[in-house]
Amino acid sequence: MTLYKKNLAQLCIGISLALLCQLSNALSPIPPSGTTPTKRTIEYDWMSVSAWDRMHAEDVVVAQYDQVDVLFVGDSITAGWHWPIWEKNFKPLKAANFGIGGDNTGNVLWRLQHGAVGTIQPKLIVVLIGVNNIGGLQESPEQAAAGVTKVVQQLQLAWPNSKILLNAVFPFDQAANSDNRSKVKKLNKIIAKLGDNKTIFFKDYGPLLLQKDGSISPDIMADFLHPTAKGYQVWADAMTPDIQQLLQ
C-alpha cells in the first residue's frame, strides 16, 4: 500500500469512527431534566403511566369547566391531603388539587402546557414541588431550584393576575444531618429569592414539622417524606391563615 493510500484509509477510518460516535450519542437517551416539560413514562408499582394519564385528564376537565379560586399544584405531598382537613380548610375556598404523586418539576411543566390551565382564573396558586427532583432525578439543589423557577414562570405566564404562595420544599429523612436535608436547605435558600411579597409569596412551613432536635417524628411523617394526618394538620394550621390573607 502506498503512503497516500495508507493515509487515505486512516482518514476514512477516522471519519467513520467519528460518525459512529455521533450516531451513538444521538441514540443515547437524554437524562431527564426538571427544567424540560416531560410526560410521565415510568411504570411505578404504585402508579402506572395510564393512572397518571387519567389523573392529568381529570385535572384538564376541572381546569376547563370548574370555578377555582385556589389552585394547589405539586406532587404526592400536595395530592395526599387528608380529606377531612381538605374539606374543612380548603373546599369552602373553591380549591382544586392538581397534585400527582411522583411528579418532578418537568412533569408539572408538561401538565401545565397540555391542558391543565384551561379556562380557570385562580386568585391564588399554592405550589409545593421539587422534592422528586432531588430524590428521583438526583439533581443538585441548583438544578432543582432551576426547575422550581421554571414552574413559577409557567404559572405566571398562564395566570399573570394570580398570586402565588410558593412553599419551601419540606425536609425529608429522619435525621437532621442527612445529605438530603442539606440539599433541601440549599434548594430552599435559592427559591426563597423568587418571593417578592407582591405576587409571589415564599413561605417555609417545614420547620414546624420537625422536633426540637431537628429530626422528624413518624407521627408527623410515617415514611419521613409524606405527612401523616397529624402532619397535614400542622401544615394546614400554619398555611390556612396565610391563604385567607392572600385572598383578601
For residue 78, the Cα-to-chain-centroid distance in whole angstroms is 10
Q: Is 125 helix (H, G, I), strand (E, B) or coil?
A: strand
**Pick the catalytic residue: 76, 140, 178, 215?**
76
Q: Is 76 a catalytic residue?
A: yes
Q: Which residue among the candidates 56, 103, 162, 226 is catalytic per the annotation?
A: 226
Q: How many CB atoms lie within 10 A of CB 15?
A: 10
Runs of H (alpha helix) within the chain: 3-27, 49-65, 76-79, 83-89, 105-113, 131-135, 141-158, 179-191, 229-246
Q: Which of 53, 66, 179, 223 does the annotation list as catalytic?
A: 223
Count, residues in the chain: 248
Q: Categorise residue 168: left if φ over 0, alpha if ψ from -120 to 50, beta otherwise.
A: beta
Determine whether 223 is an active site residue: yes
Residue pair 174/209 in contact (Cβ under 8 Å)? The answer is no
| Catalytic residue positions, numbered | 76, 223, 226
